[in-house]
Structures are given as C-alpha cells and as structure tokens.
Structure 1
Amino acid sequence: MQGVKPLSLLQVKQVSLSFNSKKFFIGKDLSKKVLNDISFTIEEGTCLGLIGTSGAGKSTLGRVILGIQRPQQGQVLFQGYDIYNSDKATQHNIRRDLQVVFQDSYSAVNPRMTAERIISEPLENYGKLTKGELRRTVCELLERVGLSEKDLKKYPHQFSGGQLQRINIARAIALKPKLVVLDESVSSLDMVTQSLILELLSELKDDFGLSYLFITHDIKAAFSISDKIGVLEKGELIERYDSKDQFFSSKHPIVKRLRDCILAEHPRFRTLTTGKLG
C-alpha cells in the first residue's frame, strides 16, 4: 500500500481580496480587487520566490498569509489548519511557527528596546527559560546572524540597516519556526549588504530546515535563494516555475518585461533596456 502523501506546509487556496472605496454614486461598486483567485503551496524546507512589480499585491498577500488581513474568499492552510478558522490554541501555535521579516528594519522594532530585549521577546512569550538560559540563547542567536555578545545592550539607532536586519532575522528564527515570510527584506539594503544577508538566509534555511516565502521585486535576489518562482501581476498569480530555465524561456509578455529589467553582471553586456521594478 502506498503511503499517504504528506500535507504541504502552506496551502493558499483560491484567495481573493478586495478593498472597498467610497461610493459616490448609489448602486455603483467602486471596490478594488487586490488579489484574485490565488493558489499555491510551499513544501517544508523550500523557498518560494514571489516576484512582482510595485502594486502587484505581493505585500497584501503576505499579510493574508500571516493572518493579518482576512481574505473575502479562499483559505490559507498552515500545517493543515485554516489560520482564520482555528481555535485559539491552534492559532497560538501557528503564530509561533509562522514568522516574518519586513523591509524596514527600523520600523519593525521598538526603538526603546535593546537588541537583547528585541530578540528575547518571542522567547519570553512562548518559552519558559531562566534568565541565564535566555541570555545564552540570545547570544547564540546574535552570533548565528553575524553579531556578538557586545551588541546585546545596543539600541536600534546604534546599528546600521544591515545589522538591524540581522537582529530582525535573529528574532524571527528564535522560536525555530517552520515558515518565515520575507517581505522585501533585503530591498532597502545596499548591494554588498544585500548579498551578505541573502547568503545568511540561505545558510539559516539549510541549518534550521526553514521554509521561506521570499517576496520581492528583485529577480536576481529571488533566484539566489528560491527553489521555485511565482510571478504576481495586478493581484493574479500569472506564472509559476520550478526552475530558472523555465522562467527565462517563458513567452509570457509580463515575464518578458520583467526579464528585460535585469542588468547583466558586467556593464559591457548591458544591452537590454533596463528599468526599476518598484
């Protein structure tokens, strides 16, 4: 007898979401559809790169998956549980196993909290560690993301953007979650720092067995970390690919336009029309 196929870690099923606008005329619906019938899965230990231009609905979809923005239609199942229709105990466990790293590292933290307090917060909320155990765990997490014990008592304004994003990553992995949503988490960093953070994220994925949803407008960044690629355009998941080759051979006009925005590695080869995705 064949074994039962395990459930996907994350299942997004026919998710649709509209934002209502003010109605200036009786009977006229001015609602704007932001997400339209989106479905995909993420398996354990994998990364799905979700690429799209500014306004495509990427961050809105991220909020839906995180349980922040409830969709009007569809389901989001995490480890088989509907994140919007589960009991409180299940939702508590989901919040533990589903973490996020946002684009703006500074607005994601309390400016009055030290690095130690920022990273300790989820551990205190979900664990029962002694003060000594808590400090040791935080030090280990700091070292794992390339910082050190001497950074424990520093405040956010004392770190660079890249260093503070490392602290946000340390906080996100503190509870050893199953899935981390990375919402434009490297887009505000310079190219060198971006490369170092992407390398760190790849290492953490392997070391901790993490899964990622990597939301970005940057194709190169997505390809550096993702196992599969999805393309979002005007709230619709228009294409999904299992490899880079599939992406680069696609005839879809939106995908071709996205490809044309990629700079070649060396200036002498930059013959394509270039532009900024958002």
Structure 2
Amino acid sequence: MSLLQVKEVTHSYGSRTFFNWKGRPKKVLSDISLAIEEGTCLGMLGTSGAGKSTLGKVILGLERPQSGQILFQGHDIYTADKHTRQKIRRDIQAVFQDSYSSVNPRITAERIIAEPLENYEKLTVAEQKRTIVELLERVGLSEKDLKKYPHQFSGGQLQRINIARAISLKPKMIVLDESVSSLDMVNQTLILELLKELKEDFGLSYLFITHDIKAAYSISDSLGVLEKGELIELYDSKKQFFTSEHPVVKEMRGSILAEHPRFRSIRTRVSHT
C-alpha cells in the first residue's frame, strides 16, 4: 500500500466581483490521481496557476476537495476519526516558500521549533531544549541560535529552522511547496542537499512542489506535471521526463537555463530529441 494516495481529486474556487461572489466556480484541480511511496520524493512541476499549491493544501488537509479522496496509510484524511486525523496531522508536515511569513516574528527560534513538540510530546524542559538543540545542529545551525529572532536570520537560515520544525515530530512525509524558490542559487543548493540527507536519514517521503525543473531533478525520484489543474504527465523516473514528447513538457524542457554543467548535458540531450 502506498504511503499517500490521491484518488480522482477535483477542486474548484468561486469567482468574485468587486461586490460579491458569483459566476461559475473556477476548477483548479481536475480528476487528479497519484501515489507517493515510503521514502520517495515526487516532484510536482507546473507553471504559476497550474494548481500545484492547491494540491499541496488539499493533501495537507487545508482545502477539502469537492470530490475524490486523499488516503494516508489507507485512511481518508477528511473522513477519518478524530484520533486518526490527529496522527495524520503529526505524520504530514509542510515547509512553504516564504520562510518569514511561516513563523511568528515575535518569538525565538527555540520557541518556533518548540511549538509542535509542545502540542504532541510530553517532554521535560531539559529534554525539550536538548531536542531543539539537536534539531538545530541537524539542519546546520547551533545552540547559539536558540535565542535569535526571525529577523536575525538570513532567508536560508530561517528556512533551515522551518525544516527543523517540520522534522521535529519525525513525520513520515513533508510537503515542500516552492521551499527553495525564494533563495539564491547557493542557498538553494545547500537546502536541497540538506533535504536529500534528511530523506535518507529518516526515510522521509516528499511532495516537492516547484516550477524549477533543475531543483526537481536534483531531489526527486519521480516527476509529475500539472497544467491548468490537470495532471498531464506522471513519470516513474526522471529520465522519462527528458524523453517525453508531450508539447507542454517539451516547452518546459526548452526553458531550462543551463548554468550548471550537469544541466548543459541535459539540455544538449533535450535539443536532439
């Protein structure tokens, strides 16, 4: 059984005028089906407005779809009993694009990471502090960062704190929604390497939502492509993406900027297909 199964999910938003809501709902997801296995990363590619973030919200339980099912370890996350839903909320965490808006600017790094621990664990003060220090060190920070506030960190450092918070409960899966897109190239590379290490060390599964083919290529085991709310392609391997003849996929491949030697060779292969 797959860790996560998305079954024929459809979701719409209403349209709005200046004064009120009216008109036909706008379909943002249309009959989406996919699965994520334990310990694997599915990279979900698509341009702005393709429905990627909405899919992430539906999987996280933040947007109930009009139809279809989200099954986590066989349980429907929207119809499961309270105890099961609580366990699912613990087992599926998220890291979002904007590291600053994802945290309370008035609390320290220690308090940010402590929030989920206080909600789900029963630790002594000493145990909690020790756990938080271990988490900070695991993401490349240190004990001296405990008392710092968000504005005292760079974007890359603060995203590391968000990642530390996400792994604090030892989840089975993390939804990463454009989690490196606001970072510079150096920090993108460092955060992607960190995510790959955590995936291997903890057996994590990821849904890696992005518009960046290179980022998806570096971390994903399989790839999907969303276009106007439809899952137009789903590839078991990254190689299949680079040989696909689908016009949308071919256009996406043609947009790759090959700054890195690894992607120069990819772009050369693509140009000959």
Q: TM-score, normalising length from structure 1?
A: 0.91
- Deviations along 1:112-169, whole A, 9 cap, x unmatched? 1100000011011000100000000000000000000000000000000000000000
Is 1:206–2:200 an aligned residue pair? yes
Cα offset for 1:30? 2.0
Deviation at 1:265, TM superposition (A): 3.2
Amino acid of the structure 2 residue aligned with 1:149: E
**CA deviation string 1:219-274 (max 9, x = no partner):** 0000100000000000000001122221111000000000011012369x98x99x
Paired with 2:16 and 2:49, the residues of 1 have a C-alpha distance of 20
Deviation digits for residues 154-205 of structure 1, max 9, x if unmatched? 0000000000000000000000000000000000000000000000000000
Cross-structure match for 2:222: 228
* Pairwise CA distance, 1:31: 1.5
AA at the equivalent of 2:229: G
Q: Which ranges in structure 1 are unaligned for 5 or more consecutive residues?
A: 1-6, 274-278
How many Å separate the matches in 2 of 1:215 and 1:261?
18
8 Å Cα contact 1:9/1:44 also seen in 2 = yes
**Which whole-Å CA distance do the structure 1 matches of 2:176 and 2:16 have between them?**
32
**What are the superposed Cα offsets for residues 63-100 of structure 1, whole Å, 9 maximum, x if unpaired?**
00000000001000011110100111111101100000
Partner of 1:4: none
Structure-1 residue corresponding to 2:26: 32
Residue aligned with 2:242, SS: helix
Aligned AA (2:142): S
Runs ≥4 residues deviating over 4 A: none
Q: Distance in 1 between matches of 2:222 and 2:238?
A: 8
1:68 aligns with one of 54, 62, 71? 62
Instruction: Calculate percent identity across the aligned residue pairs.
Output: 77
The DSSP-based 3-state class of the residue aligned with 1:249 is coil
Distance 1:175 1:257, change over 3 A: same
- Report what 2:74 is aligned to: 80
Query: Does 2:102 correspond to 1:108?
Result: yes
Task: Give 1:142's aligned residue.
Answer: 136
Residue of 160, 165, 189 corresponding to 1:195: 189
Count of residue correspondences: 263
State the alpha-carbon separation in 1 of the partners of residues 110 and 2 from structure 2. 34
User: CA–CA distance in 2 between the matches of 1:50 and 1:23?
Assistant: 31
Q: Secondary structure at the match of 2:182?
A: coil
Corresponding position of 2:239: 245
Which residue, 177, 181, 184 being the options, matches 2:178?
184
Q: Whole-Å Cα distance in 1 between the matches of residues 108 and 40 of structure 2?
A: 32
1:117-196 counterparts in 2 under 5 A?
117-196=111-190
- CA shift, 1:20, in A, is 1.5
Letter in 2 for 1:187: S
Matched, 1:16 2:36: no
2:271 is matched with none
Q: TM-score, normalised by structure 2?
A: 0.93
Unaligned runs of 5+ in 2: 268-273
Deviation at 1:33, TM superposition (A): 0.6
Do the aligned partners of 1:48 and 1:229 also contact (CA within 8 Å) in 2? yes
The equivalent of 1:3 in structure 2 is none
